[in-house]
Amino acid sequence: MKKIMILSCLSLIFLPSCTDVEEKVYDKYAATEFYNSLEGADVALAGVYSKIGGNWGGVGYAGADNGWYDLNTMASDEQVIPHRNTGDWQLDFARLHLHQWLPTDGIIGNTWNWLYNAIFSANLAIEQLENAKAAPAKIAEAKVLRAFFYYLLMDDFGNVPFFTENNVTVDKIPQISRKELYDFVVKELTENLDKLPTTKGGEFYGRFNRWAGYALLAKVYLNAEVYTGTPKWKECLNACEQVTAGGFTLHGATANASSPLGNQYYELFGDVLPEDETILAIFAKVNVVSRNIYGIRSLNGPHALAILGFSGWNGTIVPKSYYQKFNDADIRKKQFLSGQQPGGVNYSLDVTSLDNPGADRNAGVRNLKFYPALPMDGGGASNDFPIYRYADILLMKAECNLRLGDAAAAKTFIDATRNRAGLAAFASNPSLEDIYNERGFELSWEGHRRQDMIRFNTFLLANDFRGASQNHRKLFPIPTSALNANTGLKQNSGY
């Protein structure tokens, strides 16, 4: 991460023939002049982008723990950290998977606080850039970033407090409906995306260029029916076509001993992510900026010690029913580990309890999709994290085409990801269930599953560890701390 510092130097010049003192200021910008410059505009934006990378304390989109990533992935069917019968691990993660979360839970509060802290930073950047009459592309980028954070709030919490200027106290921020926020997000994106640069890679590896912006818009439209009651499949498809215009392709998937897990496919989840498929990524370098704990957190101590040189956390597992959906010929099944492992560890397939008394120490399938990249230590690894990649765009195209009645077109797009994974094309046109399952195979552990489950009406169904859930669980509750700070807020139904 680059830091730009503004140094001021005061020079006092004394003239021998008079007593006037003239102060001249060198290398000191007025705020408007600074934020109007290329360097200054990037400083304003950097303050917002710094909120995305994951780190301790439940901050960030992904990379660390107890924040947005854990909230959204562990409430789904793809992963969970069980409480262990040896006493390890807090119960919060198990409660998420069991759909027993409470408004007082720390992970919910962390997610809420992170998102509003990020929105405050985005508002500040927009104000600085607009006051300085900065380049339209820089202002547009800041507005797209703010829309990204509001989209995440809308997805998780529904009706939420809304502000675009920071001159209001927390207790006075009005709460708006999910539909109103959806309209705002769509308006902000459609008015600003074409102002963004089309540059790929380089400084835009982890920034919103036009293609990443349209990927975000596609996600918003993909879930429009959930947010507003009105589907926007055609609009989602059009946004996906805009991303395709950026020239992205699927990364290769050939056997490669030097690649993580022995296949080129897993380079998509390693250190620097391949730019052929990656649309937007989080840059991570452990102990410097962000981190990626997900492989290390999953492995048991002696197993991690044997293959990595330091102990693992013995945390996250993959539920048996999710794991068993994968075809043995699917290269994406290589991410999962069960049975005997180096270090004398044997991961059993069955997990009998998540909370009371909890799981046995070696119970549960483990995951190395994010095979730890150097530098790494017991606090995480340097794997970058894909927020959006082209495989997701293809599967969105498949879903939208099928929902619009063109199953043959849908088949082309879903077959592309299946073929890349080493599977045969479908013999006939796919069903919505086929597309739902393929999204689970392709995008596991990347933060999309809860949203997909809600859209496909599977989120409330019974799973390995609980019965069917009540409808209000499709939204998380507004944290108790937020209700206490702003008594004008109304809690989500059911809580």
Per residue in 405-446, pLDDT (tens digit) is: 999 999 999 999 999 999 999 999 999 999 999 999 999 999
What gap in Å lies between CA 492 and CA 112, rounded to an integer? 14
- How much is the mean pLDDT over the chain? 94
The reported pLDDT for the residue numbered 11 is: 26
Low-confidence ranges of the chain (pLDDT < 70): 1-29
- Of 362, 322, 337, the C-alpha closest to 261 is 337
The reported pLDDT for the residue numbered 20 is: 41
Domains and CATH numbers, the chain: 39-196 (1.25.40.390), 294-367 (no CATH)
Positive or negative, the CA dihedral 300, 303, 306, 308 is negative
What gap in Å lies between CA 358 and CA 97, rounded to an integer? 13
The reported pLDDT for the residue numbered 32 is: 83
pLDDT tens for residues 2-35? 332 222 222 222 223 333 434 444 355 677 889 9
- Of 73, 69, 96, 72, the C-alpha closest to 83 is 96
The reported pLDDT for the residue numbered 30 is: 78
Burial of 6 (0-12, 13-18, 19+ CB in 10 A): exposed
The reported pLDDT for the residue numbered 29 is: 62
Locate 457 and state its tokens.
């009406």
